[in-house]
Every structure is written in C-alpha cells, then in structure tokens.
Amino acid sequence: MRVLVTREELVARVASLGHDAVLCELIRVEPLGDDPVDARPYDWLVVTSRNGAHELARRGVTANRIAAIGPATADALRSHGLRVDLVAATHSQEGLREELPPGKLLLAAAENARQDVLDADFMPLYRTVELRPDVPEADVALLMSGSAGRALAATGARMPVVAIGPQTAAEARSAGLEVVAVAVTHDLDGLVQALRSRSWSSPS
C-alpha cells in the first residue's frame, strides 16, 4: 500500500510495516520571535506541541513547572534538558484542564492554537504556514495536525486519512476529508499503530 506521510521520521516506520511511504510536506513552521521566554510569573507553563517544545528550547525558557499535553511533547521537552512536571493522561487541552492544579497558567503554542479551553494567558511561539505541493497519489495519508489536513484538502487530494487525534480528525472532516482511523494515543506510535490496525481493502 502507498502511504502519504508528512514528516520524514515516519518514513522508516511506515516502511517497516511493508508499505511504500511517500513523503510530502504540507506545512511549514515559522518562528514568531527569538527573545528568551520567562514564565516564572506563572505557576505552570503549558506546552501543547512538539514544535512548541522545540521553540521554547531554542529561545531559552525559564519556568516554575511545565505541563505537556502528551508524551511526544514531553519527550521533545526532555530532549532539550527541560523538566516536565505533568503529562496529561488524556492528550488534549481538556485533559490538561482536568489534571492541572489551581494556579496561574501560560499557554505557549502555535499562533492559531485553541484558547477556549484553558483559563490561561497566551504566548504565540510560531505560525503554521499551509503549503500547496503537488501531492503524489497514495492509498491513505497520515495526518499529524489539523493544519496538515486543511492543506491536503486545499490541494484537491481526496485520499482517506488516518488522524493522530480527535481534534485533527474533526478538522480533517470539516475540510472534506474521509477519516478512516484515529490514533488511540495521540503520538507517532499511536499513529503508526492506527495504520497497522486498520483493515485495508486496497492492495499492498
């Protein structure tokens, strides 16, 4: 089976399942600043993506406690030597809201991140630019964000997709894409497992 992937690190994982992995980048991340991030006036710094973790590390961050939306974000923070004090069991802002103790929060995330869930101040770290590549033919695409789903739909491609989580799935459906599976754990391992578990009718 031919599988469209949007990040290079997925190529080997998909190929290990016996599929033909085709790389097609659909989004580009643009930093919104270079100044150090001082989150010490807040009880918690909330990080909701791997890109956010890398941007905080690049700029230099100081925080009292850091909460991560899921294991992939936590791993990205730890890879830069940053301590993670809380990882949401349910990998969503709603999950974080249920688990975070009372306190003042700073949400550091993408420019277009959801801000209607957590009672937090907001710091945009980067913007996501949707690309318009020539999309190669594939039997299915693996989507890691809603912005990637919107970008894929905007190219006119209409292949079925596997989403990394429910928010990505909802945005993909809104863009007119058919979501055939959603990862149980909202990380790369979960995405690959969703691809592995799906019963496919197309030839491999």
53 with 82: CB under 8 angstroms? yes
Assigned token pair, 40: 């010490």
Q: Which residues contact 122 (CB under 8 A, 6 or more apart)?
A: 106, 107, 108, 109, 113, 115
CATH topology for the 34-128 domain: Rossmann fold (3.40.50)
**pTM of the entire structure?**
0.76
CA distance linking residue 180 with residue 194, whole number of Å = 10
Task: Kindly state the DSSP code that residue 176 receives in the 8-state scheme.
Answer: T
pLDDT at residue 165 above 70? yes
CA distance linking residue 49 with residue 11, whole number of Å = 20
H helix or E strand, kind and range, residue 93:
helix 93-99
Torsion of CA 133, 193, 112, 136, to 10 degrees: 10
Assigned token pair, 71: 């294991």
Assigned token pair, 117: 């869930």
H helix or E strand, kind and range, residue 126:
strand 120-130
CA distance linking residue 147 with residue 50, whole number of Å = 15
CA distance linking residue 173 with residue 60, whole number of Å = 37
Domain 2-26+131-197, what architecture?
3-Layer(aba) Sandwich (3.40)
pLDDT in tens, 41-97: 999 999 998 899 999 999 999 999 999 988 888 999 999 999 999 998 887 889 899
2-26+131-197 and 34-128, same CATH topology = yes
pLDDT in tens, 94-150: 989 999 999 999 999 999 888 999 999 999 999 989 889 999 999 999 998 888 999
List the chain domain ranges: 2-26+131-197, 34-128
